Structure 1
Amino acid sequence: MGSPLAENGLGRLQHPGNIADYFLCNIRAQGMAPRKTLIGYVAAWGALAAILWGVDLAPAISGYPAKAVLAVIVWACIIWVTEAIPVGVTGLMIPMLLVVTQAVAKIPEAFGGFVLDVSFLTLGAFIFAAILGAAKLDTRIALFVVNKMKAVRVGKLIVALFTTNMALSLVVPAANARSATMLPIINGVIGLFGDSPAENNAKKAIAIACIVYATMVGGILFLTAHLPNVLMVGLFDKQLGVHISWMQWLWLHLPIVGLFPLMYWIIKLTFRSNNIEVPGGLERIRKEQDGLGKTRGNEWVILAIFTFAAIMWALEDVHKIKTGMMTLIALGVFFIPGVIPLKWATIQNKTIWGTWLLLCGALSLSAAMGSSGLAKQAAALIHPWVEGHGWIAVLLIMMAATQIIRLGMLSNIAAVAMLAPVLLEMAPLLNLNPVAFTLLIANVDTFAFLIPTQVVAGVVAYSTNTFSMWDYFKVGLPTVIAAILWSVFVMAPWYAYNGFPIWEPLAK
Structure 2
Amino acid sequence: MSNELAQTQTAFAPQFPRLGALSTDTAKPRRTSVKAFAGFVLAWAVLFLILKGMPLPAGMSATAKATLAVMAWAAIIWIFEAVPVAVSGLLIPMLLVLTNAVPGLGKAAGGFTNPVVFLCLVAFIFSAIMQIAGLDRRIALGILNKVRVRTVNGLIWTMFGVNLVLCFIVPAANARAATLLPVVNGLTGFFGDSEQERNAKKAIVIQTLVYGSMISGMCILTAHLPNLVLSGLFSSELKLNISYLNWLKLQWPYLGMFLLTQWWVQYYFRTRRVSIPGGQETIQAEQRALPKAGKQDKSILVVFGLVAVFWATEQWHKLPTDVTALLGLAAIFTPGLLQMKWKDIQDRTMWGTVFLLAGALSISSAISSTGLAQWLASQIQSVAQGHPWWGILLIVMLGTHVIRLGMLSNVAAVTMLAPVLLALAPKLGLHPVAFTMLVADTDSFAYILPTQITAAVIAYGSGAFTTEDYAKVGVVSVLIAVAYGIVVMAPWYALQGIPLWNPAAPWPF
* Distance (whole Å) between structure 2 residues aligned to residue 70 and residue 177 of structure 1: 32
Instruction: Confirm or deny that 1:427 pairs with 2:459.
Output: no
Q: Give the deviation of 1:29 after TM superposition.
A: 12
After superposition, the Cα gap between the structure-2 partners of 1:54 and 1:303, relative to the gap in structure 1 and judged at 3 Å, is: same
* Distance (whole Å) between structure 1 residues aligned to residue 279 and residue 78 of structure 2: 39
* Matched position secondary structure for 2:209: helix
In structure 2, what is the equivalent of residue 259 of structure 1? 257
From 85, 96, 99, the counterpart of 1:101:
99
- Confirm or deny: 8 A CA contact 2:497 2:505 kept in the other structure: no
Q: Give the deviation of 1:28 after TM superposition.
A: 11
Q: Give the deviation of 1:499 after TM superposition.
A: 1.4
In structure 1, what is the equivalent of residue 375 of structure 2? 377
Matched ranges for 1:400-411 at <5 A: 400-411=398-409
Matched ranges for 1:340-355 at <5 A: 340-355=338-353
- Confirm or deny: 8 A CA contact 2:43 2:72 kept in the other structure: yes
* Distance (whole Å) between structure 2 residues aligned to residue 282 and residue 60 of structure 1: 65
Matched ranges for 1:7-406 at <5 A: 33-56=32-55, 59=57, 62-406=60-404
Q: 5+ residue gaps in structure 1? A: 1-26
| 2:181 aligned partner, one-letter code | L
| 2:243 aligned partner, one-letter code | S
| 2:142 aligned partner, one-letter code | F
- Confirm or deny: 8 A CA contact 1:220 1:253 kept in the other structure: yes
* Poorly superposed stretches of 4+, deviation over 6 Å: 27-32
Any idea what the Cα deviations from partners look like across 1:72-120, whole Å, max 9, x if unmatched? 1111111111111000111111111111211110212111111111111
* Matched position secondary structure for 1:292: coil
In structure 2, what is the equivalent of residue 19 of structure 1? none
Q: Give the deviation of 1:481 after TM superposition.
A: 1.2
* Distance (whole Å) between structure 1 residues aligned to residue 74 and residue 500 of structure 2: 31
Does 270-279 or 387-396 show the bigger shift? 270-279
* Distance (whole Å) between structure 2 residues aligned to residue 280 and residue 462 of structure 1: 24
* Distance (whole Å) between structure 2 residues aligned to residue 28 and residue 192 of structure 1: 29
Q: Give the deviation of 1:30 after TM superposition.
A: 9.0
* Distance (whole Å) between structure 2 residues aligned to residue 506 and residue 241 of structure 1: 16
After superposition, the Cα gap between the structure-2 partners of 1:80 and 1:160, relative to the gap in structure 1 and judged at 3 Å, is: same
Any idea what the Cα deviations from partners look like across 1:26-85, whole Å, max 9, x if unmatched? x999998221111111111111111111244x7356222111111111111111111110
* Distance (whole Å) between structure 1 residues aligned to residue 461 and residue 370 of structure 2: 41
* Distance (whole Å) between structure 2 residues aligned to residue 194 and residue 112 of structure 1: 54
Any idea what the Cα deviations from partners look like across 1:254-294, whole Å, max 9, x if unmatched? 11111111111001100012322222211111111111133
* Distance (whole Å) between structure 2 residues aligned to residue 376 and residue 30 of structure 1: 41
* Distance (whole Å) between structure 1 residues aligned to residue 76 and residue 157 of structure 2: 38
User: Please, what TM-score do these two structures have when normalized by structure 1?
Assistant: 0.92
Q: 5+ residue gaps in structure 2? A: 1-25
- Confirm or deny: 8 A CA contact 1:434 1:506 kept in the other structure: no
* Matched position secondary structure for 1:33: helix
After superposition, the Cα gap between the structure-2 partners of 1:500 and 1:185, relative to the gap in structure 1 and judged at 3 Å, is: same
Any idea what the Cα deviations from partners look like across 1:313-371, whole Å, max 9, x if unmatched? 11111111111111011000011111111111111111000001101100010000001
Does 121-130 or 183-192 show the bigger shift? 183-192
In structure 1, what is the equivalent of residue 19 of structure 2? none
Identity %: 48
| 2:185 aligned partner, one-letter code | N
- Confirm or deny: 8 A CA contact 2:499 2:505 kept in the other structure: no
Q: How many residues align?
A: 481
Any idea what the Cα deviations from partners look like across 1:173-203, whole Å, max 9, x if unmatched? 0111111111111111111211111110001
* Matched position secondary structure for 2:289: helix
- Confirm or deny: 8 A CA contact 2:218 2:252 kept in the other structure: no
In structure 2, what is the equivalent of residue 18 of structure 1? none
| 2:89 aligned partner, one-letter code | G
In structure 2, what is the equivalent of residue 17 of structure 1? none
In structure 1, what is the equivalent of residue 501 of structure 2? 503
* Distance (whole Å) between structure 2 residues aligned to residue 432 and residue 276 of structure 1: 46
Q: Give the deviation of 1:471 after TM superposition.
A: 1.2
- Confirm or deny: 8 A CA contact 1:61 1:374 kept in the other structure: no
